[in-house]
Structure 1
Amino acid sequence: MSAVKGVEITGAMKPAYKKILTPEALKFVATLVRKHGPTRDKLMAYREERQALVDAKKLKLGFLKETKKIRDGKWQIAGIPADLQDRRVEITGPVDRKMIINALNSGAKCFMADFEDASSPTWELMMDGQVNLADAVRRKITYTSPEGKEYKLNPQIATLIVRPRGWHLLEKHILIDGKPAPGAIVDFGLFFFHNAKEQIKRGTGPYFYLPKMQSHLEARLWNNIFKDAQNLLKIPQKTIKATVLIETIWAAFEMEEILYELRDHIVGLNCGRWDYIFSFIKTFRNYGDRLIPDRLGVTMDKHFLDSYSKLLCQVTHKRGAQAMGGMAAFIPTKDPAKNEEVFAKVRADKLREVMNGHDGTWVAHPGLVPVAMAVFDEHMPQPNQIDKKFPERRIKAEDLLQLPEGQITEGGLRNNINVGIQYIEAWIRGNGCVPLHNLMEDAATAEISRVQVWQWLKHGAKLADGRTVTRALVLAMIDEELAGIRKQLGDERYYQGRFAEAAGLFARLATAPQCADFLTLPAYDYLD
């Protein structure tokens, strides 16, 4: 229970959480949930309605006719604060204490502290994350490892940006009027309540990344929440600044409308490439003629992804906003030869982004910060390149919808199963950011793995060797990959983990009659 009427806390209360879950903070969150929760619920239903029309082949995706006036208008966003002008390299990661210190010290321009895809939303991590970020904002955060190594902030640190959970996720440990609160409002509300004024006092501000949107109506909801939050704390309007991740095919057709709805509070859009590929597959799940090849071959040079990147740069710069590039998920190794291969791939990826017009990019590992930085320093010596407008680009709906070419192989199927099982196993143990096969996997890449197996199975995809993807083949490969994981890790680690549960959940999702919207929704039931 809590001291606030209608608010119930069902998670364990550590002493440190009392600084976060104060009556005043809970009242603030409850006010936002009570006013905006019903709109959130309607928008979740709207997602289902639109998807049902696509499933029934009664709706063709494209740019909205009813918002053409917005796209043709002369408006601009409100402006970009000084400490967000140069975002050439941003690092992302979960909200655990050591990660926050290392990321802020990494040399990147910004750090996105992630309550979403890089974090498993255990009660402990969500609340510890709030404690950790409050300490980081006040530059009081320190950490001592079990081996005795001490971590503290450098004098010069990255600008902090916080990503709350997506609209689809709930926080089951905070009940408001008997219902689980939207995780997005909990994460935003608690951070904003405790830190916004302190950040302003220190010469920065409350900055956020907003994930998983599927329409400009969802952007409007965020804008209304921002307005109310600022009014409630008597903070001037337009103080909050947000960057929206364009990581659904739906949002790609509404980029300008999303910018317009948030024009007083937005500074840019980001190419959330992995979730975007996941959304592309999931949206056309009922279409047997729209099968996507092996995920590791679906790279940003493919026409539909390159078009999405170029359109985002054109749209943002037209409105005075920033275009942020996507994640380099590679992890440096101790092998110099392999490292040079990794660095070459990262350089090529970042060169494509800066030449397309991006003003910055993402990396998942501190070792890649200087690699990405060097590319942007060479080709973008100024803080950003918003002045480049690209009026010659004529990107049509067909460009965004063009299928990538490539094969569906046994190796691709096995990789999806292997990554899916290992990621889900880590996630249900409370770890949302997992290094696998020299890549940093998060919920987005695991989602591609899971939904791709579902798509191939539903439509009886043909492997390159001529075999058909069947339920029996998928289940046999799950058993084989599980046995391989056990052999690789050893019995002790295997049985200490939750691999059998993870494989069972993956099998259930991959072979279900209906495609689940998100694996994190059924997986959330496995968390305490």
Structure 2
Amino acid sequence: MSTPQPTAPALDLPEGVEVTGALKPGYEQILSREALELVATLHRELEDRRQERLAARRQVMDSVASGQDLDFLPETAHIREDDSWRVGEHAPGLVDRRVEMTGPTDRKMTINAMNSGARVWLADQEDANTPKWENVVEGEINLRDAILGTISFSSPEGKDYALSTTDQAQLPTIVMRPRGWHLDEKHILVDGRRTSGSLVDLALFLCASARPQLDAGKGPYLYLPKMEHHLEARIWNDAFNLAQDALGIPRGTIRATCLIETYPAAFQMEEILYELKEHSAGLNAGRWDYLFSVIKTYRTRGAEMLLPDRNAVTMTAPFMRAYTELLVRTCHKRGAHAIGGMAAFIPSKDEEVNKVAFEKVRADKTREAQDGFDGSWVAHPGMVQTCLEVFDSVLGERPNQVDKLREDVSVSAADLLSVDQTPGDVTEVGLRSNIDVAIQYLAVWLTGRGAVAVHNLMEDAATAEISRSQIWQWLHNDVTLADTGATVTRELVERLTQEVLAELPGTPEDYRAATDLFLQVAVADDFADFLTVPAYETMD
């Protein structure tokens, strides 16, 4: 006799709202009428502005392609020169951020992150996730349950997972990262139009978790990804005010840390803080997406802006040092936290690999702490203690070092643009590595997982973006490989792709969809702004 299947819930839909994604028991608690009404309000108020800003991004790319360089904006000089303004006071649970754990919001990873010992958990609904419908909704269920202290999980192997404590004061502060402005949510329509993935994630999170977070003595906090202009931050600020008014919570309750992970945003750090002001919680050096954006923005400008192999670009490259030092100076000048970049290393069973990984993480975090960062990211619970030890040695009993103003730092536009001073070569080894990592990552991404261990690193979408965009840039600028003397052509990329596929575990058929997507964005005539956009269209 077959087991009866749970009945799919019915939703109480506001006028003009349609939900086309499959429904499972429990989804109605996240897709509540309150949440869908907030989605509709945000969409109707802000969608046209979102589309205008996405169009403005393309205009910036066109101007760079025609020879104009990025620069600090003259029309906002008064914001940068006005020393009187500061962001809001540090919010409860966001005073001490010396180590932040990042990761996707599936149930097992949520529990592991909450038990990691980190001060903050970046609960990632973006690059370490995929926008698969189940992930969008179930991620919010898991966040709510973690805040309520009711979350548990049993693996298919019979292993049980639970929180080490239900005292939220002893657990990491949850900071949710929604999708970027460029991604739609195709499963929720308002007035017949797709909604913004950013605003859907915001609305579902706030309606499910804002009040429980406030009851726990913290608040609804976010990491905002991939902004390219301070007017995009203004849309976020307006969304926060609309949402807070709708939910009856005071303005300024929401706090947001902005990732400076696009090249244009590096020239508008102060303006981004200013736009969010009372909602600002700091800036983060999202360095891997930043590299992707550097390549994307200057992809047609030839040798003057050509980066060497991905693995040859380190944080000591002059243009990367300029970026991180400016970020620390900017944040501390305005009373905001400066949060360092991702350490993607994960523990290995190979003792020698493990030793090298921990040494690299320690060196990376030591540089950040000494530069003035108030905390930094790790991608695995096994790296939390190493990061914590480094920042403890610098901070001591202080919760942060916002008072370290870094007035010694002076960064010009030329410093941020000094890509040509980056040491290293473009090689076939690097080309093969880009093909290998991109295909392995995409093969898993298409199944619904966005955080993927590849070659002892925890990769997210940024690595695939860097890899495919480097190949596109090398191909369209007729780059000669330093180790073989060959010119990068479409034929060479396709041949090496087949060779790489032959070396991967499994069969080439296992990677067919990933390979097709990779080649679609790596060797096409036109550059796709984000590979996740066409990939999303292939998902049910």
Alpha-carbon separation, structure 2, partners of 1:325 and 1:345: 15
Say which of 501, 508, 524 aligns to 1:482.
Answer: 501
Q: What is the CA-CA distance between 1:2 and the residue it aligns to?
A: 5.7
2:296 is matched with 282
Say which of 362, 379, 384 aligns to 2:394.
Answer: 379
2:362 is matched with 347
Alpha-carbon separation, structure 2, partners of 1:428 and 1:490: 16
1:389 is matched with 405
Pairing of 1:24-173 with structure 2 (within 5 A): 24-57=34-67, 59-73=68-82, 74-155=84-165, 156-173=170-187
- Provide the alpha-carbon RMSD of the alignment: 1.1
8 Å CA contact 1:95, 1:133 repeated in 2: yes
1:244 is matched with 258
Report Cα offsets for 1:303-322 as digits up to 9, x if no partner. 11111110000000000000
Q: What is the CA-CA distance between 1:439 and the residue it aligns to?
A: 0.9
8 Å CA contact 2:92, 2:219 repeated in 1: no
2:518 is matched with 506
8 Å CA contact 2:105, 2:124 repeated in 1: yes
Letter in 1 for 2:70: L
Matched residues, number: 520
Alpha-carbon separation, structure 2, partners of 1:126 and 1:19: 13
Alpha-carbon separation, structure 2, partners of 1:241 and 1:368: 26
Percent same amino acid among aligned pairs?
A: 53
2:196 is matched with 182
1:473 is matched with 492
Pairing of 1:347-426 with structure 2 (within 5 A): 347-381=362-396, 382-403=398-419, 404-426=422-444
The 10-residue stretch of structure 1 (329-338 or 361-370) with the greater mean CA deviation from structure 2: 329-338
Pairing of 1:204-223 with structure 2 (within 5 A): 204-223=218-237
The 10-residue stretch of structure 1 (152-161 or 106-115) with the greater mean CA deviation from structure 2: 152-161
8 Å CA contact 1:354, 1:360 repeated in 2: yes
1:202 is matched with 216
2:535 is matched with 523
Say which of 254, 268, 278 aligns to 2:282.
Answer: 268
Alpha-carbon separation, structure 2, partners of 1:175 and 1:477: 42
Alpha-carbon separation, structure 2, partners of 1:24 and 1:388: 43
2:349 is matched with 334
Letter in 2 for 1:39: R
Pairing of 1:425-504 with structure 2 (within 5 A): 425-465=443-483, 466-485=485-504, 489-491=505-507, 495=509, 497=510, 499-504=511-516
Q: What is the CA-CA distance between 1:490 and the residue it aligns to?
A: 3.0
Alpha-carbon separation, structure 2, partners of 1:277 and 1:60: 17
Report Cα offsets for 1:31-84 as digits up to 9, x if no partner. 111111111111111111111111122x32111111011001120111112311
Report Cα offsets for 1:189-224 as digits up to 9, x if no partner. 111012112211110100000000001000111001
8 Å CA contact 1:327, 1:364 repeated in 2: yes
Is there any run of 5+ residues in structure 1 with no aligned partner, and where? none
Q: What is the CA-CA distance between 1:387 and the residue it aligns to?
A: 0.4
Alpha-carbon separation, structure 2, partners of 1:100 and 1:417: 31
Report Cα offsets for 1:460-488 as digits up to 9, x if no partner. 11111211111111110111111111xxx
Letter in 2 for 1:186: V
Q: What is the CA-CA distance between 1:397 and the residue it aligns to?
A: 0.7
Report Cα offsets for 1:102-142 as digits up to 9, x if no partner. 00110010001101000011001111111111111111111
Alpha-carbon separation, structure 1, partners of 2:533 and 2:179: 12
TM-score, normalised to structure 2, is 0.95
Letter in 1 for 2:79: I
Letter in 2 for 1:188: L
Alpha-carbon separation, structure 1, partners of 2:210 and 2:292: 33
Q: What is the CA-CA distance between 1:3 and the residue it aligns to?
A: 2.3
**Residue 262 of structure 2 is aligned to residue 232 of structure 1:** no
Say which of 319, 323, 328 aligns to 1:308.
Answer: 323
**Residue 272 of structure 2 is aligned to residue 254 of structure 1:** no
Alpha-carbon separation, structure 1, partners of 2:85 and 2:488: 50
Letter in 2 for 1:368: M
What secondary structure does 2:207 align onto? helix
Letter in 2 for 1:301: T
Letter in 1 for 2:458: M
What secondary structure does 2:278 align onto? coil
8 Å CA contact 1:2, 1:9 repeated in 2: no
What secondary structure does 1:83 align onto? coil
Alpha-carbon separation, structure 2, partners of 1:258 and 1:419: 33
1:11 is matched with 21
The 10-residue stretch of structure 1 (388-397 or 444-453) with the greater mean CA deviation from structure 2: 388-397
8 Å CA contact 1:247, 1:275 repeated in 2: yes
Q: What is the CA-CA distance between 1:248 and the residue it aligns to?
A: 0.4
Q: Which 4+ residue blocks in structure 1 deviate beyond 2 angstroms? A: none
Alpha-carbon separation, structure 2, partners of 1:141 and 1:505: 36
Q: What is the CA-CA distance between 1:24 and the residue it aligns to?
A: 2.0
8 Å CA contact 2:102, 2:378 repeated in 1: yes
TM-score, normalised to structure 1, is 0.97
Q: What is the CA-CA distance between 1:337 and the residue it aligns to?
A: 2.0
Q: What is the CA-CA distance between 1:277 and the residue it aligns to?
A: 0.3
Q: What is the CA-CA distance between 1:15 and the residue it aligns to?
A: 1.1
Q: What is the CA-CA distance between 1:147 and the residue it aligns to?
A: 1.7
8 Å CA contact 2:175, 2:222 repeated in 1: yes
8 Å CA contact 2:92, 2:217 repeated in 1: no
Alpha-carbon separation, structure 1, partners of 2:29 and 2:410: 52
What secondary structure does 1:15 align onto? coil
